Amino acid sequence: MFEHLFPRERFQRFYKFLEEKGFENPSPFSKGTTSLIFKGKMHEENVIIKLARPDSPRYNLSREAEIIKVLEGRGITPALIEYGTFEGLDYLIRRFAPGEPILYADVEKQHLIEIVKKTALLDALGIDHGQIQGGKHIIIGKGVWIIDFEKAGFRKPKNLTSAIAMLFLNDNSISKRIITKFGLNSDFLSLIMEAAEEYKRSRNVEGILSLISSL
């Protein structure tokens, strides 16, 4: 999967490095624009290691590590296990989020409620994820996890309003699926748009939650 980026000898050194820290059975899992993801087990838990791609210009994962630490224990993003470097490449080891990106997932009402609560909590903490709308970073499984905080920062947060746009208001494959699945009409969409405007003014999430709860 990553052979063209990682010559065999370097791979072997990397796997040995992982083995020495107790990261068992590493296997290539996914390739992002800035990182390579390997899945494995550590202390009986499913984990991933996100390693900066050797071909991305000195990519620094320290900010992502810092933000994940602030979110520790809040149920928004899987816990950080370790942050370090391997042969000059930054890496993060964290718990695995079971599920699939919302871009492809079958979204239940309970997921919508969890997305609202978790993005509102991020807003309240003053952290803007920055890439909510793409649909690649919300993992839908039994629960909901938000991953990839590389573009996140302490700035005016727009997480919940971005999520509402992605889920209901923008023209994309996620909203199309949700509109069809829940049989949403233009009245509902106007109401959710108004509730999002109200949330922007008051930071009160109740209007949005009660609309979604009525589905």
Ligand X SMILES: Nc1ncnc2c1ncn2[C@@H]1O[C@H](COP(=O)(O)OP(=O)(O)OP(=O)(O)O)[C@@H](O)[C@H]1O
User: Which residues touch 38 (CB under 8 Å, ≥6 apart)?
Assistant: 18, 26, 27, 28, 29, 48, 49, 51
CA distance linking residue 92 with residue 126, whole number of Å:
23
94 binds ligand X (CB under 6 A): yes
Q: Is 123 or 148 the residue whose CB approaches Mg ion more closely?
A: 148
Q: Can you tell me which of 90, 114, 123, 148 binds Mg ion, judged by CB under 5 A?
A: 148
**CA dihedral sign, ordered 132, 101, 147, 121:** positive
96 binds, among Mg ion, ligand X, none (CB under 5 to 8 A by kind): ligand X
129 binds, among ligand X, Mg ion, none (CB under 5 to 8 A by kind): none
Phi, psi of 203 (to 5 degrees): 60, 20
CA distance linking residue 26 with residue 20, whole number of Å:
12
Q: Is 79 or 184 the residue whose CB approaches ligand X more closely?
A: 79
Phi, psi of 139 (to 5 degrees): -100, 125
33 binds ligand X (CB under 6 A): yes
50 binds, among Mg ion, ligand X, none (CB under 5 to 8 A by kind): ligand X
Q: Is 97 or 167 the residue whose CB approaches ligand X more closely?
A: 97
Q: How many residues sit close enough to ligand X to count as binding (CB under 6 A)?
A: 18
Residue with tokens 């909590």: 121
Which positions lie near ligand X, rule CB under 6 A? 30, 32-35, 37, 48, 50, 78, 94, 96-97, 101, 136-137, 147-148, 150
Which positions lie near Mg ion, rule CB under 5 A? 148, 150
